[in-house]
Structure 1
């Protein structure tokens, strides 16, 4: 009877450990995103697009100086070549505001993102 109890406890522990195992690293926003940047004020490029990658909540790009993060609730903070952006992602889309400068003249506008 004692052996049966020990086996039951061990089986229960194994099953519980299997269900409690940590999930793979990543966030709900990981993936490849296309970000469209639209200038509303200033002399920066009127419209620019960047392919960005989110991995484990960190934002990066292969060919530009991008740093930033996406929080677990989808809040975004990013720096791209001296411009700063913030906003929100939800599902496969997002939007927000940005500001920066071109030749020392302030620029600002909105950005929109979509996930592939």
Structure 2
């Protein structure tokens, strides 16, 4: 189901990049503090998207990877744990914002863009 996949994809944790090459090197060093497996809970607060999901995301050197090819992810986990991302599938997309903590937890919000109008929150917990 298109709505279900987009809502689930919304929480694949990736965040905004930094501007300079030096900042990028520092980002990889510090962002690796967030590397590992994260369990993500996605909750829809408003709109026709499915109510809730839970799935796993791998973060490596600050980049999120989701097993499967149902959607595209752009962005990174910033050195301070800030999460900013765009998740897309076809013409549907969603913006994700929030923060991961070094203690192994994180949270934030998500909103869809365009045709499907949904918004919600997400919670993350490090698993590995």
Where do residues 61-80 of structure 1 align in structure 2 (5 Å cutoff)?
61-63=66-68, 64-65=70-71, 66-80=73-87
The yes-or-no answer on 1:85 pairing with 2:96 is yes
RMSD: 2.1
Corresponding residue number in structure 1 for 2:119: 108
1:18-63, Cα deviation, whole Å (9 max, x unpaired):
xxxxxx9661100011111100010101001221111100111011
Whether contact under 8 Å (1:70, 1:76) holds in the other structure is: yes
Q: Is the strand fraction higher in 1 or 2?
A: 1
Q: Which runs of 5+ in 2 are unaligned?
A: 1-27
After TM superposition, the score normalised by the length of structure 1 is: 0.70
Corresponding residue number in structure 1 for 2:62: 57
Change (3 A) 1:67 1:60: farther
Q: Larger Rg: 1 or 2?
A: 1
The yes-or-no answer on 1:37 pairing with 2:42 is yes
1:51-81, Cα deviation, whole Å (9 max, x unpaired):
1111100111011423331111100112334
Give the 4+ runs in structure 1 shifted more than 4 A.
Answer: none
> What SS does structure 2 have at the residue aligned with 1:88?
strand
After TM superposition, the score normalised by the length of structure 2 is: 0.64
